[in-house]
Chains A and B, each alone.
Chain A
Amino acid sequence: MEVTIFIHAADDAFRILEKAKARAVGLLDTATNLTSETRWMREKKIQAILKGAQETKSGFQNFVATFVMLMVFWALLSGKFDTFHLSLGVICSLIVAYLSHDLLFANVRVGDGRLIAQRFLRYIPWLMREIVTANFHVAYLALSPKMPIDPQIITFRTKLESDISWVTLANSITLTPGTITIDIEDREFMIHALDRKVADDLDTGEMEDRVAHIFMEADHIYIQDVLDVSRIFAELKRGM
Chain B
Amino acid sequence: MIVSSDDIIIKTIARIFVPFIQLYALYVIMHGHYSPGGGFQGGVILGASMALLLITHGYDEVKRRLPEGVVMLLGSVGVLIYAGIGLTCLLLGGNYLDYSQLSVILHVDPAHARSLGILGVELGVGFTVMAVMYSIFFDISTGGILPEDQKQEEKLESEG
Which residues does chain A contribute within 8 Å of B23, judged by CB atoms?
70, 73-74, 77, 92-93, 96
Most B CB within 10 A of own CB, among A78, A103, A185 = A103
> Chain A's interface: helix, strand, loop or mixed, by majority?
helix
Least CB distance, A71 to chain B, in whole angstroms:
9
A164, CB-defined interface residue at 8 Å? yes
Residue B81 CB within 8 A of the other chain: no
Q: In the complex, A80 Cα to B34 Cα: how many Å? A: 11
Task: Check B12 for interface membership: any CB of A closer than 8 A.
Answer: yes
B20 at the A/B interface (Cβ < 8 Å)?
A: yes
Q: How far is the CA of A100 from the CA of B20 in the complex (A)?
A: 10
In the bound complex, CA of A211 to CA of B5 (Å):
24
A68-92 near B? 1/0 per residue, CB < 8 Å: 0010011001101000010010001
Q: Chain A 161-199 against B: per-residue CB contact (8 Å), 1 yes, 0 no?
A: 001101100110000000001011100000000000000
- Decide: B22 and A166 in contact? CB cutoff 8 A: no
B30 contacts which of A88, A103, A164 (Cβ < 8 Å)? Answer: A88
**Pair A104/B15 contact, Cβ less than 8 Å:** yes
Bound CA span A171–B16, Å: 14
| B interface residue count range (under 10 / 10 to 19 / 20 to 34 / 35 or more) | 20 to 34
Q: Which residue of A lies closest to B26 (CB)?
A: A92
Contact with A along B1-22 (1 / 0, CB 8 A): 0000011110111011011101
| Chain A residues in 8 Å Cβ range of B15 | 103-104, 106
Please tell me if A95 contacts chain B, counting CB pairs below 8 Å: yes
Q: What is the CA–CA distance of A199 and B18 in the complex, to the nearest angstrom?
A: 34
Q: In the complex, A181→B31 CA distance in Å?
A: 39
B27 beta carbon closer than 8 Å to chain A: yes
Known contacts A99-B66, A104-B16, A106-B15; A167 and B24 CB within 8 A of each other: no
Question: Is residue A97 contacting chain B, with contact meaning CB distance below 8 A?
Answer: yes
A4 to B26, CA, bound (A): 98
- CA of A73 to CA of B18 in the docked complex: distance in angstroms? 13
Q: A44 CB to closest chain B CB, in angstroms? A: 30
Q: Which 7 A-B pairs have the closest CB atoms?
A: A92-B26, A167-B12, A100-B19, A96-B22, A163-B12, A77-B27, A103-B15
Interface residues of B (CB under 8 A from A): 6-9, 11-13, 15-16, 18-20, 22-24, 26-27, 30-31, 34, 53, 65-66
